[in-house]
């Protein structure tokens, strides 16, 4: 009965590879987000989708491409991984009229070697 789930929990890969992180929410929310948390624990929003439409696209390299097949899923694909991409990536979701109250997933720790 997990509300917001992410897979995988840990991802270790080589520089230059392409990888994907998946996110699913069973809360019936309309809006989903991706955040990046760096080694100093700073949380920064990357993208948000509302009903499968891109709403927020922060200054993120275009190697990062979110994809929302339906409003319960928001996946993050990263091309040509770089060392600086190492971080914890969090998915979150919220109701359409309560976008400030966001529910976060457990995070995916990405390590690029």
Partner 1 sequence: GQQLNQSPQSMFIQEGEDVSMNCTSSSIFNTWLWYKQDPGEGPVLLIALYKAGELTSNGRLTAQFGITRKDSFLNISASIPSDVGIYFCAGQYAGGTSYGKLTFGQGTILTVHP
Binding site for partner 1 (CB under 8 A): 4, 31, 33, 40-45, 48, 50, 55-56, 90, 92, 94, 99-107
Angle at 62 between CA 97 and CA 77, to 5 degrees: 70
CA distance linking residue 31 with residue 109, whole number of Å: 23
Smallest distance from the beta carbon of 36 to partner 1, in angstroms?
11
57 neighbors 65 (Cβ within 8 angstroms): no
- Closer Cβ to partner 1, 47 or 78, answer by number: 47
- Closer Cβ to partner 1, 13 or 95, answer by number: 95
- Closer Cβ to partner 1, 2 or 80, answer by number: 2
**Secondary structure tally for the chain: helices H, strands E:** 0, 11
Smallest distance from the beta carbon of 2 to partner 1, in angstroms?
11
């Amino acid at each position: 009965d997990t509300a917001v789930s992410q897979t995988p929990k840990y991802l270790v890969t080589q520089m230059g590879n392409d990888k994907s992180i998946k996110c699913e929410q069973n809360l019936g929310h309309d809006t989903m987000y991706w955040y990046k948390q760096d080694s100093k624990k700073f949380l920064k929003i990357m993208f948000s989708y509302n009903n499968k439409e891109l709403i927020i696209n922060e200054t993120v390299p275009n190697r990062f491409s979110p994809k929302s097949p339906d409003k319960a899923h928001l996946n993050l694909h990263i091309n040509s991984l770089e060392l600086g991409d190492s971080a914890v990536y969090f998915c979150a979701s919220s109701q359409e009229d309560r976008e400030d109250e966001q529910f976060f997933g457990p995070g995916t720790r990405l390590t690029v070697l």
